[in-house]
Structure 1
Amino acid sequence: MSSDHEWAMAEVRRQDDVERKWLGGATQNRPSFAEAEILDRQGVPSCHAWKIPAGEVPPHLSATQALRRWQAGACAMCSARPTRLLVDHCHRSGLIRGLLCTSCNTAEGLQDAPSFVAYRSRPPTVLLGMEEQYGSAWDGFGRTPADQAVRNASHVDAAEALFGEITSRFRSAT
Protein backbone atom coordinates (compact mmCIF):
# COMPACT_ATOMS: atom_id res chain seq x y z
CA MET A 1 0.00 0.00 0.00
CA SER A 2 1.41 3.38 -0.98
CA SER A 3 2.07 6.09 1.55
CA ASP A 4 -0.30 8.44 -0.37
CA HIS A 5 -3.10 5.91 -0.01
CA GLU A 6 -2.34 5.42 3.68
CA TRP A 7 -2.30 9.17 4.22
CA ALA A 8 -5.65 9.56 2.40
CA MET A 9 -7.26 6.82 4.50
CA ALA A 10 -5.92 8.36 7.70
CA GLU A 11 -7.28 11.75 6.64
CA VAL A 12 -10.74 10.26 5.97
CA ARG A 13 -10.72 8.65 9.45
CA ARG A 14 -9.59 11.95 11.02
CA GLN A 15 -12.38 13.91 9.29
CA ASP A 16 -14.94 11.27 10.32
CA ASP A 17 -13.78 11.60 13.94
CA VAL A 18 -14.05 15.40 13.76
CA GLU A 19 -17.59 15.15 12.34
CA ARG A 20 -18.68 12.59 14.96
CA LYS A 21 -17.31 14.78 17.74
CA TRP A 22 -19.07 17.86 16.31
CA LEU A 23 -22.41 16.06 15.94
CA GLY A 24 -22.25 14.34 19.33
CA GLY A 25 -25.79 13.14 20.02
CA ALA A 26 -27.43 15.87 17.90
CA THR A 27 -29.03 13.37 15.52
CA GLN A 28 -30.70 11.33 18.27
CA ASN A 29 -34.11 11.65 19.96
CA ARG A 30 -35.70 13.68 17.19
CA PRO A 31 -39.44 14.10 16.76
CA SER A 32 -41.08 11.36 14.71
CA PHE A 33 -43.16 12.22 11.67
CA ALA A 34 -46.32 12.06 13.84
CA GLU A 35 -44.76 14.31 16.49
CA ALA A 36 -43.62 16.70 13.75
CA GLU A 37 -47.27 17.02 12.64
CA ILE A 38 -48.16 18.23 16.14
CA LEU A 39 -45.26 20.70 16.04
CA ASP A 40 -46.46 21.90 12.63
CA ARG A 41 -49.92 22.65 14.04
CA GLN A 42 -48.15 24.73 16.70
CA GLY A 43 -46.22 26.64 14.00
CA VAL A 44 -42.90 24.94 14.69
CA PRO A 45 -40.82 23.23 11.98
CA SER A 46 -39.32 19.93 13.09
CA CYS A 47 -35.72 21.20 12.87
CA HIS A 48 -36.42 23.78 15.59
CA ALA A 49 -36.88 20.89 18.02
CA TRP A 50 -33.59 19.22 17.05
CA LYS A 51 -30.45 19.47 19.15
CA ILE A 52 -27.88 21.78 17.57
CA PRO A 53 -24.31 20.47 17.52
CA ALA A 54 -21.91 22.19 19.89
CA GLY A 55 -19.02 24.17 18.46
CA GLU A 56 -18.11 25.26 14.99
CA VAL A 57 -18.98 23.27 11.89
CA PRO A 58 -15.84 21.36 10.84
CA PRO A 59 -13.98 23.50 8.30
CA HIS A 60 -13.72 20.69 5.76
CA LEU A 61 -17.54 20.62 5.36
CA SER A 62 -19.53 22.89 3.06
CA ALA A 63 -22.91 24.08 4.35
CA THR A 64 -24.68 21.44 2.27
CA GLN A 65 -22.40 18.68 3.59
CA ALA A 66 -22.93 19.87 7.18
CA LEU A 67 -26.70 19.89 6.61
CA ARG A 68 -26.57 16.34 5.26
CA ARG A 69 -24.63 15.17 8.34
CA TRP A 70 -26.83 17.03 10.84
CA GLN A 71 -30.17 16.30 9.20
CA ALA A 72 -29.17 12.63 8.84
CA GLY A 73 -31.76 11.95 6.14
CA ALA A 74 -34.65 13.74 7.90
CA CYS A 75 -36.70 16.54 6.34
CA ALA A 76 -36.22 19.81 8.25
CA MET A 77 -39.97 20.50 8.20
CA CYS A 78 -41.68 17.15 8.83
CA SER A 79 -38.94 14.71 9.96
CA ALA A 80 -39.89 12.30 7.15
CA ARG A 81 -37.03 10.17 5.89
CA PRO A 82 -37.54 9.87 2.13
CA THR A 83 -35.00 8.29 -0.19
CA ARG A 84 -33.76 11.76 -1.11
CA LEU A 85 -33.93 15.29 0.23
CA LEU A 86 -33.94 18.44 -1.90
CA VAL A 87 -31.73 21.45 -1.25
CA ASP A 88 -34.14 24.27 -0.35
CA HIS A 89 -32.97 27.80 -1.06
CA CYS A 90 -34.28 31.37 -1.08
CA HIS A 91 -35.08 32.40 -4.64
CA ARG A 92 -34.37 36.07 -3.85
CA SER A 93 -30.98 35.79 -2.16
CA GLY A 94 -29.92 32.42 -3.53
CA LEU A 95 -28.91 31.25 -0.04
CA ILE A 96 -29.38 27.62 0.93
CA ARG A 97 -31.83 27.15 3.81
CA GLY A 98 -32.02 23.42 4.47
CA LEU A 99 -32.91 19.99 3.13
CA LEU A 100 -36.57 19.18 2.57
CA CYS A 101 -38.60 16.23 1.31
CA THR A 102 -40.33 16.78 -2.04
CA SER A 103 -43.72 17.49 -0.40
CA CYS A 104 -42.36 20.10 2.02
CA ASN A 105 -40.18 21.71 -0.65
CA THR A 106 -43.23 22.13 -2.89
CA ALA A 107 -45.43 23.37 -0.04
CA GLU A 108 -42.72 25.77 1.19
CA GLY A 109 -42.96 27.75 -2.01
CA LEU A 110 -46.75 27.92 -1.86
CA GLN A 111 -47.61 28.41 1.81
CA ASP A 112 -47.37 31.05 4.48
CA ALA A 113 -48.38 28.70 7.29
CA PRO A 114 -46.73 29.66 10.62
CA SER A 115 -44.35 26.68 10.55
CA PHE A 116 -43.06 27.68 7.08
CA VAL A 117 -42.68 31.30 8.17
CA ALA A 118 -40.68 30.10 11.21
CA TYR A 119 -38.59 27.81 8.96
CA ARG A 120 -37.77 30.68 6.58
CA SER A 121 -36.80 33.01 9.44
CA ARG A 122 -34.54 30.42 11.14
CA PRO A 123 -33.65 27.72 8.61
CA PRO A 124 -31.17 24.93 9.39
CA THR A 125 -28.25 26.88 7.89
CA VAL A 126 -28.94 29.74 10.32
CA LEU A 127 -29.27 27.25 13.21
CA LEU A 128 -25.83 25.89 12.29
CA GLY A 129 -24.38 29.38 11.76
CA MET A 130 -23.60 28.80 8.10
CA GLU A 131 -24.18 30.48 4.78
CA GLU A 132 -23.82 29.04 1.30
CA GLN A 133 -24.97 30.23 -2.12
CA TYR A 134 -27.13 27.82 -4.11
CA GLY A 135 -26.07 27.16 -7.68
CA SER A 136 -24.01 29.71 -9.54
CA ALA A 137 -24.12 33.11 -11.17
CA TRP A 138 -25.76 31.39 -14.14
CA ASP A 139 -28.81 30.78 -11.90
CA GLY A 140 -29.46 34.52 -11.87
CA PHE A 141 -28.40 35.39 -8.35
CA GLY A 142 -26.76 38.76 -8.45
CA ARG A 143 -28.84 40.03 -11.39
CA THR A 144 -30.11 43.58 -11.24
CA PRO A 145 -33.67 43.92 -9.88
CA ALA A 146 -34.92 44.99 -13.33
CA ASP A 147 -33.36 41.93 -15.01
CA GLN A 148 -34.77 39.68 -12.30
CA ALA A 149 -38.26 41.21 -12.69
CA VAL A 150 -38.23 40.46 -16.43
CA ARG A 151 -37.06 36.89 -15.76
CA ASN A 152 -39.67 36.39 -13.03
CA ALA A 153 -42.44 37.75 -15.27
CA SER A 154 -41.51 35.29 -18.02
CA HIS A 155 -41.57 32.43 -15.49
CA VAL A 156 -45.01 33.53 -14.26
CA ASP A 157 -46.28 33.71 -17.87
CA ALA A 158 -44.95 30.20 -18.55
CA ALA A 159 -46.47 28.82 -15.32
CA GLU A 160 -49.85 30.43 -16.02
CA ALA A 161 -49.84 29.00 -19.54
CA LEU A 162 -48.99 25.53 -18.23
CA PHE A 163 -51.43 25.55 -15.32
CA GLY A 164 -54.15 27.22 -17.37
CA GLU A 165 -53.94 24.32 -19.79
CA ILE A 166 -54.05 21.77 -16.96
CA THR A 167 -56.92 23.41 -15.04
CA SER A 168 -58.99 23.83 -18.19
CA ARG A 169 -58.69 20.06 -18.75
CA PHE A 170 -59.96 19.41 -15.21
CA ARG A 171 -62.84 21.84 -15.64
CA SER A 172 -63.94 20.19 -18.90
CA ALA A 173 -63.72 16.73 -17.32
CA THR A 174 -66.25 17.57 -14.57
Structure 2
Amino acid sequence: MTSRPGSASLKRASEEVQRRDAVEREWLGATAQGRPTFAEAELLDRQGIPSCHVWQVPSREVPRHLSAASALRRWQAGACAMCSARPERLLVDHCHRTGLIRGLLCTSCNTAEGLQSAPSFVAYRERPPAVMLGVEEMYGSPWGEVIAPSDASPEERAERNAAHVDAAEAVFASVVPKFRNA
Protein backbone atom coordinates (compact mmCIF):
# COMPACT_ATOMS: atom_id res chain seq x y z
CA MET A 1 0.00 0.00 0.00
CA THR A 2 1.38 3.40 -0.94
CA SER A 3 0.92 6.48 1.16
CA ARG A 4 -0.76 9.57 -0.17
CA PRO A 5 1.50 12.35 -1.42
CA GLY A 6 2.17 14.79 1.39
CA SER A 7 0.90 12.49 4.15
CA ALA A 8 4.32 12.57 5.86
CA SER A 9 4.24 16.39 5.77
CA LEU A 10 0.72 16.40 7.17
CA LYS A 11 1.78 14.06 9.96
CA ARG A 12 4.78 16.28 10.86
CA ALA A 13 2.57 19.37 10.82
CA SER A 14 0.02 17.67 13.06
CA GLU A 15 2.76 16.59 15.49
CA GLU A 16 4.12 20.16 15.57
CA VAL A 17 0.65 21.54 16.37
CA GLN A 18 0.30 19.02 19.21
CA ARG A 19 3.78 19.90 20.52
CA ARG A 20 2.99 23.63 20.50
CA ASP A 21 -0.36 23.05 22.22
CA ALA A 22 1.42 21.11 24.97
CA VAL A 23 4.02 23.89 25.38
CA GLU A 24 1.24 26.50 25.65
CA ARG A 25 -0.73 24.45 28.18
CA GLU A 26 2.41 24.04 30.29
CA TRP A 27 3.16 27.79 30.00
CA LEU A 28 -0.37 28.81 31.00
CA GLY A 29 -0.84 26.22 33.73
CA ALA A 30 -3.81 27.21 35.88
CA THR A 31 -3.47 30.96 35.28
CA ALA A 32 -7.04 31.30 33.94
CA GLN A 33 -8.58 29.80 37.06
CA GLY A 34 -9.97 31.92 39.87
CA ARG A 35 -10.38 35.08 37.79
CA PRO A 36 -12.91 37.66 38.95
CA THR A 37 -16.40 37.60 37.51
CA PHE A 38 -17.82 40.65 35.78
CA ALA A 39 -19.53 41.67 39.04
CA GLU A 40 -16.30 41.25 41.02
CA ALA A 41 -14.43 43.23 38.35
CA GLU A 42 -16.88 46.12 38.90
CA LEU A 43 -15.85 46.19 42.57
CA LEU A 44 -12.18 46.17 41.55
CA ASP A 45 -12.86 49.04 39.14
CA ARG A 46 -14.31 51.12 41.99
CA GLN A 47 -10.98 50.59 43.79
CA GLY A 48 -9.03 51.70 40.70
CA ILE A 49 -7.87 48.18 39.80
CA PRO A 50 -8.29 46.71 36.31
CA SER A 51 -9.37 43.08 36.33
CA CYS A 52 -6.14 41.84 34.73
CA HIS A 53 -4.09 43.14 37.66
CA VAL A 54 -5.45 40.36 39.87
CA TRP A 55 -5.01 37.59 37.29
CA GLN A 56 -2.26 35.05 37.84
CA VAL A 57 0.64 35.67 35.44
CA PRO A 58 2.42 32.61 33.97
CA SER A 59 5.67 32.00 35.81
CA ARG A 60 7.53 31.01 32.65
CA GLU A 61 8.48 33.05 29.62
CA VAL A 62 6.08 33.22 26.68
CA PRO A 63 6.78 30.34 24.26
CA ARG A 64 8.92 31.54 21.36
CA HIS A 65 6.43 30.41 18.72
CA LEU A 66 3.75 32.82 20.00
CA SER A 67 3.52 36.42 18.86
CA ALA A 68 2.65 38.97 21.53
CA ALA A 69 -0.96 39.17 20.28
CA SER A 70 -1.27 35.37 20.30
CA ALA A 71 0.19 35.15 23.80
CA LEU A 72 -2.35 37.75 24.99
CA ARG A 73 -5.21 35.81 23.36
CA ARG A 74 -4.11 32.59 25.06
CA TRP A 75 -3.56 34.17 28.47
CA GLN A 76 -6.67 36.35 28.49
CA ALA A 77 -8.73 33.32 27.39
CA GLY A 78 -11.59 35.42 26.01
CA ALA A 79 -11.81 37.78 29.00
CA CYS A 80 -11.60 41.57 28.77
CA ALA A 81 -8.54 42.86 30.63
CA MET A 82 -10.56 45.66 32.25
CA CYS A 83 -13.93 44.14 33.20
CA SER A 84 -13.53 40.34 32.79
CA ALA A 85 -16.54 40.25 30.44
CA ARG A 86 -16.42 37.45 27.88
CA PRO A 87 -17.92 38.90 24.70
CA GLU A 88 -17.90 37.07 21.39
CA ARG A 89 -14.85 39.07 20.37
CA LEU A 90 -12.21 41.21 21.98
CA LEU A 91 -10.52 44.21 20.38
CA VAL A 92 -6.76 44.71 20.29
CA ASP A 93 -6.03 47.79 22.38
CA HIS A 94 -2.90 49.72 21.56
CA CYS A 95 -1.14 52.91 22.58
CA HIS A 96 -1.67 55.58 19.93
CA ARG A 97 1.55 57.33 20.95
CA THR A 98 3.91 54.33 20.74
CA GLY A 99 1.88 52.02 18.48
CA LEU A 100 2.45 49.11 20.90
CA ILE A 101 -0.26 46.55 21.68
CA ARG A 102 -1.40 46.77 25.30
CA GLY A 103 -4.04 44.06 25.67
CA LEU A 104 -7.46 42.80 24.59
CA LEU A 105 -10.58 44.69 25.60
CA CYS A 106 -14.31 44.36 25.06
CA THR A 107 -15.90 47.01 22.84
CA SER A 108 -17.20 49.02 25.83
CA CYS A 109 -13.86 49.11 27.64
CA ASN A 110 -11.92 49.81 24.45
CA THR A 111 -14.15 52.82 23.75
CA ALA A 112 -14.02 54.02 27.36
CA GLU A 113 -10.24 53.53 27.56
CA GLY A 114 -9.67 56.35 25.11
CA LEU A 115 -12.02 58.68 26.96
CA GLN A 116 -11.46 57.80 30.62
CA SER A 117 -9.04 59.13 33.17
CA ALA A 118 -10.53 56.92 35.91
CA PRO A 119 -7.90 55.34 38.20
CA SER A 120 -8.50 51.81 36.83
CA PHE A 121 -7.83 52.97 33.25
CA VAL A 122 -4.73 54.87 34.35
CA ALA A 123 -3.50 51.70 36.11
CA TYR A 124 -4.28 49.63 33.00
CA ARG A 125 -2.25 52.01 30.77
CA GLU A 126 0.68 51.96 33.23
CA ARG A 127 0.76 48.15 33.47
CA PRO A 128 -1.18 46.58 30.60
CA PRO A 129 -1.34 42.82 29.96
CA ALA A 130 1.50 43.01 27.40
CA VAL A 131 3.80 44.43 30.07
CA MET A 132 2.59 41.85 32.58
CA LEU A 133 3.55 39.06 30.14
CA GLY A 134 6.78 40.78 29.08
CA VAL A 135 5.83 40.92 25.39
CA GLU A 136 6.01 43.72 22.86
CA GLU A 137 4.44 44.03 19.42
CA MET A 138 3.48 46.92 17.18
CA TYR A 139 -0.20 47.20 16.32
CA GLY A 140 -0.78 46.44 12.65
CA SER A 141 -3.56 46.85 10.16
CA PRO A 142 -5.50 43.88 8.75
CA TRP A 143 -3.45 44.31 5.58
CA GLY A 144 -0.13 43.64 7.28
CA GLU A 145 0.92 47.28 7.58
CA VAL A 146 2.22 48.58 10.89
CA ILE A 147 0.13 51.50 12.07
CA ALA A 148 2.23 54.62 12.57
CA PRO A 149 2.17 56.32 15.96
CA SER A 150 -0.19 59.27 16.32
CA ASP A 151 2.73 61.68 16.01
CA ALA A 152 2.88 60.88 12.27
CA SER A 153 2.55 63.93 10.04
CA PRO A 154 -0.88 64.81 8.60
CA GLU A 155 0.42 63.80 5.15
CA GLU A 156 1.52 60.37 6.45
CA ARG A 157 -1.85 59.86 8.13
CA ALA A 158 -3.78 60.89 5.00
CA GLU A 159 -1.65 58.56 2.85
CA ARG A 160 -2.10 55.67 5.30
CA ASN A 161 -5.86 56.25 5.55
CA ALA A 162 -6.20 56.37 1.75
CA ALA A 163 -4.29 53.08 1.47
CA HIS A 164 -6.60 51.49 4.07
CA VAL A 165 -9.71 52.70 2.23
CA ASP A 166 -8.36 51.34 -1.07
CA ALA A 167 -7.53 47.99 0.55
CA ALA A 168 -10.94 47.75 2.23
CA GLU A 169 -12.75 48.58 -1.01
CA ALA A 170 -10.74 45.88 -2.82
CA VAL A 171 -11.61 43.30 -0.17
CA PHE A 172 -15.31 44.15 -0.18
CA ALA A 173 -15.44 44.27 -3.99
CA SER A 174 -14.25 40.66 -4.11
CA VAL A 175 -16.47 39.43 -1.25
CA VAL A 176 -19.83 41.09 -1.87
CA PRO A 177 -20.58 39.30 -5.18
CA LYS A 178 -20.10 35.92 -3.47
CA PHE A 179 -22.88 36.75 -1.01
CA ARG A 180 -25.20 38.07 -3.70
CA ASN A 181 -24.84 34.83 -5.68
CA ALA A 182 -25.36 32.57 -2.65
* TM tier, smaller: 0.7 to 0.9
TM alignment of 1:83-162, pairs within 5 A: 83-135=88-140, 139-141=147-149, 145=151, 147=153
Give the drift of 1:147.
1.4
Q: Secondary structure in 2 aligned to 1:109? A: helix
Give identity over the alignment, percent: 69
Q: Which residue of 1 aligns with 2:48?
A: 43
Corresponding pairs, count: 151
Q: Distance in 2 between matches of 1:36 and 1:17?
A: 30
CA contact (8 A) 2:138 2:146 kept: no
Deviation per CA, 1:43-70: give whole Å up to 9, x if none: 0000000000111100000000000000
Instruction: Indicate whether 1:58 and 2:66 are aligned.
Output: no
Q: Secondary structure in 1 aligned to 2:115? A: coil
Q: Which residue of 2 aligns with 1:17?
A: 22
Q: Distance in 2 between matches of 1:49 and 1:86?
A: 20
- Structure 1 residues 131 and 148 mapped into 2: Cα distance closer, same or farther (>3 Å)? farther
CA contact (8 A) 2:139 2:146 kept: no
- Structure 1 residues 121 and 9 mapped into 2: Cα distance closer, same or farther (>3 Å)? same
Runs of 4+ in 1 over 3 A off after TM superposition: 148-152
**Structure 1 unmatched ranges of 5 or more:** 153-174
Give the drift of 1:85.
0.1
Q: Distance in 1 between matches of 2:108 and 2:35?
A: 20
AA aligned to 1:147 is S
Aligned residues: CA RMSD = 2.2
Q: Which residue of 1 aligns with 2:37?
A: 32
AA aligned to 2:38 is F
